[in-house]
Amino acid sequence: MRLSDSGEKITSEDIRAFEQKFSLVLPEDYKSFLERSNGGMPEGDYVFEFFDEVTERTNHSVIQEFFILSKDETDSYDDLESNCIDLWDDEALSKDTLPFALDPGGDYLCLSLGSDDYGAVYLCNHEYDDSETGYLVKSKVADSFSAFMEGLRLDED
């Protein structure tokens, strides 16, 4: 997958600083992705499928953009840190759920950092709250970031 509008090149030290700031540990496959590309917008429509917990049926969406890990403090809409802070402070996501991308409908693709499903990828629907937790409703997309990336297909339509 080719990405445009990626962030500036980052190092493992930049990632470690982000992890330390928020007391979390990112999955290795996601860290490798950040070091290679540091986010950006896919060139083409890359589709992924998932079982939608809201509609209770198989659904699909596309990646609009991957968030960028910025070295500078920024409040940009595509900044990983800003999105984390906004969604955690608003209590839309738990602090063991890391938003890493957006789809065109404004839903977040997130990594689980929780012990029971560490590294799993979820689509978090920005329009629906889970009645038990109060967080955005999560629909599982893949067991890992690598599996998510491998499952993407270019929409030829």
Residue 2, domain member (yes or no): no
For residue range 4-29, what is the model confidence (pLDDT) as tens digits?
A: 999 999 999 999 999 999 999 999 99
Mean local confidence (pLDDT), 43-47: 94
pTM above 0.85, yes or no: yes
Return the percentage of the chain with pLDDT > 90, whole number.
Answer: 83
For residue range 57-78, what is the model confidence (pLDDT) as tens digits?
A: 999 999 999 999 986 666 567 8
Residue 3, domain member (yes or no): no
Q: Cα(111)–Cα(139) distance, rounded to whole angstroms?
A: 12
Residue 62, domain member (yes or no): yes
Residue 135, domain member (yes or no): yes
Q: What rounded mean pLDDT belongs to the chain?
A: 93
Q: Cα(138)–Cα(108) distance, rounded to whole angstroms?
A: 9
Classify 89 as helix, strand or coil.
helix
Q: Which domain holds residue 63?
A: 8-154
Number of domains in the chain: 1
Mean local confidence (pLDDT), 40-57: 94
Which CATH number fits the domain that encloses residue 102? 3.40.1580.10
